[in-house]
Homo-oligomer: A and B are copies of this chain.
Amino acid sequence: MIGSVAKALDILTLFSKTHPVLTLAEISRRLEMPKSTAHHLITTLAAYGFIEQTDDGAYALGKSLIPLTQHVLVNVELRDRAAPLLRALADSCNESVYLTVRDGDAVLYIYAIESSQRLLARTAVGDRAPLYCTSVGKAVLAWLPPDEVECLLNTAPLNTYTPYTLTDPATLLGDLEATRQRGYSLDNQEHELNTFCVGAPIFKADGHVVGACSVSGRDPQIVEGRLPALAEQIVGTAQEISRHMGYVPAHMSMVRSRPQR
C-alpha cells in the first residue's frame, strides 16, 4: 500500500452529492493533512484531468473520470452485452429500464434507459441502492446462497425509506421465497414513494447471480394490471442476458437453493 497514492484516492472519494465542490482548506481539514500536501496531490490529479478547478479557485472532480467508465470490467462484460436487449425492452414497455450489478451489500446502477416519466433529474447510473428494498436488490438476494443472505441481514440494519419498506427480517425472507417461486421480484414503493418496479436476476457462467435488471416507473399498474406482461418481458430479457454471459440454464431448483462453485 503506497501512502501518497492512497491519499490521492482519499481526495477523489471525498467529493459527494452534498459536496461536489470543495476548497483546498476543506480537503486538508477533513482528511487531516497539511494544506501543502493536499495541494501537491491535487496538482497531480489535476494534471490528469481527474480534478478540475472551479471559477472561484475551489476544486471538483474532473471530466477525465467519465471516459474511464467505458473500460470498467463490468461495463465491458455485462453492460455492453445487455444494452441492446434492454433498449428493446424499454421500447416495448415505455418505462425506465435499469441494469445493476451486486457490489457488496448494495446494487450499483451501471446502465439506464430513462423515460421522460422519471421523477428525478439526474441519471441513476453510478447510484448505489440497498439490496433489501429494491426490485433489483431483492432479485439478487433471492438467488444468493442462504448463508450469505443471513450474513448480509445480520450485518446491516434494515432502514425505513418509506412506509412500505420491509424492515422485518422474517417478512423479507418470506418475500424472497415468493420471489423465487415467481421468478421475478417486486418493489411496491419500498425504496421510494410512487415508484413501482419489477426485477429479474442475471447469472454468470459459474451459476452465481451477478446482478439484475428492472422495469421501473410511477405507474401503479406496473405491479398490478400490467404485471403479467411486464414480468414475462423482464424475465425473458434477464435470461437472455444471462445466456450472453455464458450461463447455461440448469434445473431452476438447483439454481434456487445454492449455486455450485
Binding site for B on A (CB under 8 A): 1-2, 4-6, 8-9, 12-13, 15-17, 20-21, 40-41, 43-45, 47-48, 50, 52, 54, 60-63, 65-76, 79-81, 83-84, 87-88, 90-91, 101, 103, 108, 110-111, 113-116, 118, 121-123, 125-128
One complex includes copies of this chain to the number of 2
Inter-subunit contact A67/B108 (CB<8 Å)? yes
The residue in chain B whose Cβ has the minimal distance to the Cβ of A82 is: B121
- CB contact under 8 A between A73 and B63, given known A68-B13, A115-B91, A116-B88: yes
Other-chain residue from B13, B15, B61, B87 in contact with A114 (beta carbon distance below 8 A): B87
Most buried by B among A21, A67, A118: A67
The residue in chain B whose Cβ has the minimal distance to the Cβ of A109 is: B66
Chain B contacts for A123, CB-based, 8 A: 79, 83, 111
Inter-subunit contact B43/A1 (CB<8 Å)? yes
Chain B contacts for A63, CB-based, 8 A: 72-74, 101, 103, 108, 110
29 A-B pairs with CB atoms under 8 Å apart are A1-B40, A2-B4, A2-B43, A2-B44, A9-B44, A9-B48, A17-B70, A17-B71, A20-B71, A52-B73, A54-B73, A60-B73, A61-B73, A62-B72, A62-B73, A63-B101, A65-B69, A66-B108, A66-B110, A66-B126, A67-B108, A67-B127, A69-B126, A70-B125, A75-B122, A80-B122, A81-B121, A87-B115, A113-B114
